[in-house]
Amino acid sequence: MSRTLIQGGWVITLDPQYRDGTIMDVLVDGETIAAIGPNIQAAHDQVIDARGMIVIPGLVDTHRHVWESVIRNVGAEWSLTTYLKHLYYGGLGGKLRPEDVYVGDLLGALEALNAGVTTLLDWSMVNSPDHADALVEALTESGIRAVFAYGTPLLNAGAFWARDSQLTHPEDCRRVKARYFSSKNQRLTLGLAIRGPEFSSWDAALHDIRLARELDALCTMHLGFGTWGPHDHSVRRLYEAGVLGPDLNFVHSNTLQPDEYKIIADTGCSVSVTPEIEMLMGHGYPCTGFLVENGAAPTLGVDVVTSVSGDLLAQMRAVLAAERARVNNQTLAGGQMPETLVLSARQVLEFATVNGARALGLEDRIGTLSVGKQADIVLIRATDINLFPVNDPIGAVVSGAGVQNVDTVMVAGSMVKRHGRLLYPSLDSLLQRAQATRDYIFEAYGIPEGAQPVSLTLEAQA
């Protein structure tokens, strides 16, 4: 295995034993970080000149429906109910062939890598065993680190996604576990994307949670948003049933009862906050502050690129602005000007790294730049005009950086982006396939309201 010396960057480890933002080197030996410090003198095979770069841990997206990259931006004007009508209950998702989800997942995973997201949870809708195989193949080929969260089908969605549904999670997840996930130390790990108590019967929800534990898989569910949250008391009911724990991940959780955030913190459950989607589509206001106030650790996700970009850096800014605005408005309503601000840029960066890694059960492998951990590393080019000069490296990342500044991305020591370009071969061929997939889906389903699909001529690389 090769040894790579990342030399002379502003290193943000998020590991308390280092002073973040100082100029240091990082030595990568194969898949892992071998040393961090100034002026490392050690044998190496290649050098990455990181002068003028900010070096951070790879970003962790804890909630994304990755295949939807092929219908990106179709829902710029969609509310949550409109989205559900088209994707779940209207049949668009049920039209997908295995080759469609393969292309969508591969394109979406590469989009994430391009933006410095080295790990994501793919909340997958699995219409058949062939679809499951195609999704796993795409994630593997992309080079990303991922939790493949096996979900229920969008075929016959009305039967599955209903409050009285007694249908339980597809048994094919057992085959997928045995075939692809023999070890938890590999780059892809298994999760179950269950419907939960607000989109299935209570008995089905409990069955699916127990199934996830039987398979030693993370269990994730949409819970506590829109008009469901205030009345269902789902977290309290799950607590009373004795099933809460760190292996449960709740998505959104905007409109829970106040005591339920404390229950989440006390039982170690995680919450994926997807701030842009929640504010744009009508889930409710992001619950970030309620989580922090009760001792829970928020994580971040993009959710759906039907309505926002696949850029987790943008979600960091959105969650920071939303929570500060909420508290600032309370202060203003009391007749005072805000003197201090809630949340720090460092906290928000931790949401997208440390907290995300812990939520996915990967904190021993990723989330910080630490000796012995996997070398999931992102270099942000701080000599670009929108970031230069650097006066606060963490502030530059959280408040100013975008996809255009992501210069280099490594996953487990393997380079997937360098000098601002993805290293995936034949990318133009993939783009052609993505356009053809989009055309097939819209032909099979019909062009959704508000969509205006455009076709481009692309020359495929040899």
- What distances in angstroms separate CA 316 from CA 58, 105, 270, 298, 313, one per listed residue? 14, 23, 17, 11, 5
Which position has the token pair 């969650």?
319
Q: Give a three-class secondary structure readout of 298-314.
A: EEECCECCCCCCCCHHH
- Is pTM beyond 0.95? Reply is yes
Instruction: Provide CB contacts within 8 A for 409, sequence distance 6+.
Output: 58, 113, 114, 116, 118, 377, 378, 379, 415, 416, 417
Q: How far apart are CA 122 and CA 150, in angstroms?
A: 8
- Could you count the other beta carbons within 10 Å of the beta carbon of residue 162? 16
SS3 229: helix
**β partners of residue 55:** 11, 379
Lowest mean pLDDT among 159-163, 201-205, 397-401, 424-428: 159-163
Using alpha carbons only, give the angle 238, 239, 245 rounded to the nearest 5 degrees: 95
Reduced to 3 states, what is the DSSP secondary structure of residue 129? helix
Three-class SS state of 242: coil
Residue type, 61: D
Sign of CA dihedral 158, 163, 167, 170: positive
Which pLDDT belongs to residue 161? Answer: 86
pLDDT for 461 equals: 43
Return the bridge partners of 6, or none.
26, 48
CA atoms of 61 and 84, how far apart (whole Å): 22
Peptide bond between residue 389 and the one before it cis (omega within 30 degrees of 0): yes
Answer whether 102's CB lies under 8 Å from 134's CB: yes
Distances from the Cα of 102 to the Cα of 99, 419, 434, angstroms: 5, 27, 10
| 159 φ/ψ angles, rounded to the nearest 5 degrees | -75, -35
Nearest to 124 by CA among 153, 95, 91, 96: 153
Q: What pLDDT score does 89 carry? A: 82
Residue type at 204 in one-letter notation: A
CB 234, CB 264: distance < 8 Å = no
| Kind and range of the H or E run holding 175 | helix 172-180
Residues above pLDDT 90, as percent of the chain: 89
| Confidence label for 141 from pLDDT (cuts 50, 70 and 90) | very high
**Cross-strand bridge partners of residue 148:** 122, 190
Q: What is the mean pLDDT of residues 139-162?
A: 91
What is the pLDDT, as a whole number, of residue 1?
66
φ, ψ for residue 71, nearest 5 deg = -120, 35
pLDDT at residue 230, as a whole number: 79
Q: Inter-axis angle of helices 129-142 and 98-114, to 10 degrees?
A: 30
Helices (H), 273-405: 275-281, 288-293, 312-333, 345-350, 356-359, 393-395
Residue 35: per-residue pLDDT? 98
Which of the 8 DSSP states describes residue 12?
-
Q: What is the pLDDT of residues 257-286, one digit of tens each?
A: 999 999 999 999 999 999 999 999 999 999
The 10s digit of each residue's pLDDT in 79-114 is 999 999 998 887 888 899 999 999 999 999 999 999
Instruction: Specify the pLDDT at position 460.
Output: 47
Model confidence band, residue 459 (pLDDT cutoffs 50, 70, 90)? low
Model confidence pLDDT, tens digit, residues 410-445? 999 999 999 999 999 999 999 999 999 999 999 999
> What percent of the chain lies above the pLDDT cut of 70?
99
Q: Residues 312-327, buried b or exposed e (16+ Cβ, 10 A)?
A: bbbbbbbbbebbbeee
What integer is the mean pLDDT of 17-28? 96
pLDDT of 462 strictly over 80: no
Task: Say which residues have a Cβ less than 8 Å from residue 191's Cβ, sequence separation at least 6.
Answer: 121, 147, 148, 149, 150, 212, 217, 218, 219, 220, 249, 360
Query: If residue 111 lies in a helix (H) or strand (E), which one and from where to where?
Result: helix 98-114
pLDDT tens digits for range 218-266: 999 999 999 877 778 999 999 999 999 999 999 999 999 999 999 999 9
How confident is the model at residue 168, as a pLDDT? 96
Task: Kindly report, residue by residue over 438-457, the tens digit of the pLDDT.
Answer: 999 999 998 887 788 898 87
What is the rounded end-to-end Cα distance, in angstroms, of the chain? 29
